[in-house]
A and B are shown apart, each in its own frame.
Chain A
Amino acid sequence: QVQLVESGGGVVQPGRSLRLSCAVSGFTFSNYGMHWVRQAPGKGLDWVAVISYDGRYKNYADSVKGRFTISRDNSKNTLYLQMNSLRAEDTAVYYCAKERTSYTSAELDYWGQGTLVTVSP
């Protein structure tokens, strides 16, 4: 069955960096675009970034552009989110999610359980 497992969250000071990972199984990872979506405590869903199946296309929310980098290693079935210059407003649960269809952009049909990032002095 499809599984996505995030890791790497924790408490970090403002201005510092953190790298999140998302290990996947149960589908052909190299065929699907992948996303990061976050949710601040008690708030709604906030789209963060996307990477195409082959890693060639990336796009980011304006709020993280220039600070966060999405990447993938198809040989390791793993998605990453490198987060630099973290701010208090980046505090959230971060979810990785899989696109519904292969090779073309589509809705998110499988999500991980999320990993909490807390940015605090």
Chain B
Amino acid sequence: DIQMTQSPSSVSASIGDRVTITCRASQGISSRLAWYQQKPGKAPKLLICAASSLQRGVPSRFSGSGSGTDFTLTISRLQPEDFATYYCQQANNFPWTFGQGTKVEIK
């Protein structure tokens, strides 16, 4: 199985900060990487697919990059509604696997 490792596991940041989350796959997954946002008690929401394609309706302050084994999610200017947990997920091989999550908290 492909292991997905996110870092950091949590980050404290202020409104307006730039936040970067990384995700590393244990083997190459091309660009078959998604990022999801989850708020407490809610279902995950797809933010980015194919490593860098922003889903319709997702604010442009979110961006994704990378291919192969190393990927990044960047929030350019953190907004109050962005405080949540973020997960990467590989869709290259079954079983699909998720990273352990990164919690973005208010500083």
A46: B residues at CB distance < 8 A: 98
- Residue of A45, A59, A62, A105 touching B91 (CB-CB under 8 A): A105
Q: Is the CB of A47 within 8 A of B46?
A: no
Q: Is the CB of A50 within 8 A of B100?
A: no
- Residue of B50, B87, B91, B95 touching A44 (CB-CB under 8 A): B87
Q: Chain B, interface size: which category? A: 20 to 34
Given known A-B contacts A44-B100, A47-B97, A106 and B91 have beta carbons under 8 A apart = yes
* Overall SS of chain B's interface: loop
* A44 and B99 alpha carbons, distance in the complex (Å): 8
- Residue of B49, B55, B98 touching A47 (CB-CB under 8 A): B98
A112: B residues at CB distance < 8 A: 43
Q: Is the CB of A107 within 8 A of B101?
A: no
Q: Is the CB of B55 within 8 A of A59?
A: no
A109: B residues at CB distance < 8 A: 46, 49, 55
A44: B residues at CB distance < 8 A: 87, 98-101
- Residue of A50, A60, A100, A114 touching B43 (CB-CB under 8 A): A114
User: Which residue of the partner chain B has the closest CB to A96?
Assistant: B43
The 8 A-B residue pairs whose C-beta atoms are closest, nearest first, are A111-B43, A107-B34, A47-B96, A59-B94, A107-B49, A45-B98, A44-B101, A109-B46
17 further contact pairs, Cβ within 8 A, besides A44-B98, A62-B95, A107-B34: A44-B99, A45-B36, A45-B44, A45-B87, A45-B98, A47-B95, A47-B96, A47-B97, A61-B95, A95-B43, A107-B50, A107-B91, A108-B46, A109-B46, A109-B49, A109-B55, A114-B43
Q: Can you list 27 A-B contacts (CB < 8 A)? A: A37-B44, A44-B87, A44-B98, A45-B36, A47-B89, A47-B97, A59-B94, A59-B95, A60-B95, A62-B1, A62-B95, A95-B43, A100-B49, A105-B91, A106-B49, A106-B91, A107-B49, A107-B50, A107-B89, A108-B34, A108-B36, A108-B46, A109-B49, A109-B55, A111-B44, A113-B43, A114-B43
